[in-house]
Chains A and B, each alone.
Chain A
Amino acid sequence: MSPLLQTIIITVVVLLVLMTIAANLIWVERRMLALWQDRLGPNRVGPLGLVQVVADMVKIFFKEDWIPKFADRPVFFIAPTIVIITVLMSFAVIPFAPGISVVNLNVGLLFFLAMSSLGVYSVVLGGWSSNNKYSLLGSLRAAAQMISYEVFMGLSLMGVVILAGSFNLNDIVEAQGRITWFFIPQILGFFVFFLAGIAETHRLPFDLPEAESELISGFHSEYSGMKFGMFFVGEYLGITLISSMIVTLFFGGWLGPSFLPPVVWFLLKMAVFILIFVLLRAALPRPRYDQLMSYGWKFLLPLSLLNLVVTGLVVLLLK
């Protein structure tokens, strides 16, 4: 088989699996939220409400999708595609099992960071081009929040890089097999990365850019139909991405006892973190915007710097 054809097949499979996971996450989230809030949740369409996702997709497909007259048309169209494409691109470097990843990139970690930074554009362009006051405010908030949390998102991963001595995600997972899962030596790094990940995907409790009660879903209030669907699925893809990065970098990726195949271990660990994301949404109230910003700059940034120094010192002393 030619390498091009092989790449195309792997890519298509990964894309289809990811879209299925992201779409079904909508059902998972609604059911779990209902469970934790003592409600029933969607349970009418199909067994346990499982076909709800299909119904939602059909509805979104048939929705009238107007581009407002006043909006900047090309930019308005590009914004939701950016969010999906950048998140999907990040999945290209994640090793799902030994040998199973779209690419085995030697700068995989940097690639992930670059792609997650590009995600800011979708929010900024979307909010700016909709010509709406709420959208503009929401996108400004989102931009400030995402660039602030991006600084120490990268910084918190440098401890992992020091321990593994590589940017390649395959090497990082294998190093965890040799040393130990990195959440033990890098507990601070894990903590900072997890919180930065929540802020980057602007999920609750850090969903200030969308805050329904004050900004009417912020940067995408003017979006409808399939373009809104793109933002919606993009959010769940983002959750999947952050969960799989946490698993890859801190919880040993595909590693696990051999009675289950590696891919299953990876998916199981990922599912745990996705559920934690949903639980956070069910459990925590939303902070104020200034609290969010000062928490990032004054607590998490010094913490990640401290983590880097301590990791360097310990590695030096143990050598």
Chain B
Amino acid sequence: MVQYSYFPGCNLKTNAKGFEETAIAVSKKLEAELVEIPNWNCCGTVHTMTSDNLMRRIAPVRVLSRSKKHIETLGEDTLNEVVTLCAMCNSTLKIVNHEVKEDQDKLDTINFQLEEDDEVYDHDMEVKHFLEIIRDDIGFEKISKSVVNPLEGLKISPYYGCMLLHPDEAAIDDVEMPSVLEYLVESLGAKVVDSPLFKFCCGSYHIVDEEKIVDTQVAKIVEAARSRGANALVVACPLCAFNIDHQQKILKEKTHGKEPLPVFYFTQLMALALGVPIKTNHFEDHHVDPKPLLKELGLSGSKKSK
């Protein structure tokens, strides 16, 4: 089994436990195990746009350096890669990694702070999102061969959000025509429903002080998917997940509107299809409960396990 040095990020331990636990479970099933860095720190989000604010870049560089040390304890096949699940962490780490690789002066200044901790970074790491590992290392063929419960009846609209595709340094796929989530959903036996709003802003941090902005965005995103026949959405970002999941519930109460669509992390869909026990999904943390839909489609029990 290939092992990967895995960086969780704070959300995976708090609001998105189901994302992390399903990811680890499926990674083992697919023989590409995610092993958590024992002493990881904040990824440094939100990435500062002030190019000379190096203080705010110490955290991501320290992550890269600690991951490198972690890799030394893993299997021989482990490459110099740190794998993320959260789209936000992925973006921050990728951008900073790119910046310090381009600008040795910046890295030297940051390393001066890391020197005493014996955590100097040698610009020898790559940041990968788990979706990239799925596409480039594991392959969709292997995934479809591992499916024990095909997700028949699920009509899923992939929602990428901004962080997986922007900016260029952080993009994991084509900016205008991404396909990784589509291929993944298909290989799990579910139907893909394309939506033009696949990266329409979810409202992001406005959830903290301007909820109405998020309401408007979420209503449009969900309606675009629903009107094209989707019965669920799939995401890779805990903030998108929270906004779309939580605000649909609020919108429903406010407008007595249509039934909300459940929001899945891509790893939850994989876990369902690969026969991972359903409790791993932590559906109790979801605001729109996906269980009724799964029950209706006969997908809620792990019938067979491999």
A binds B: no
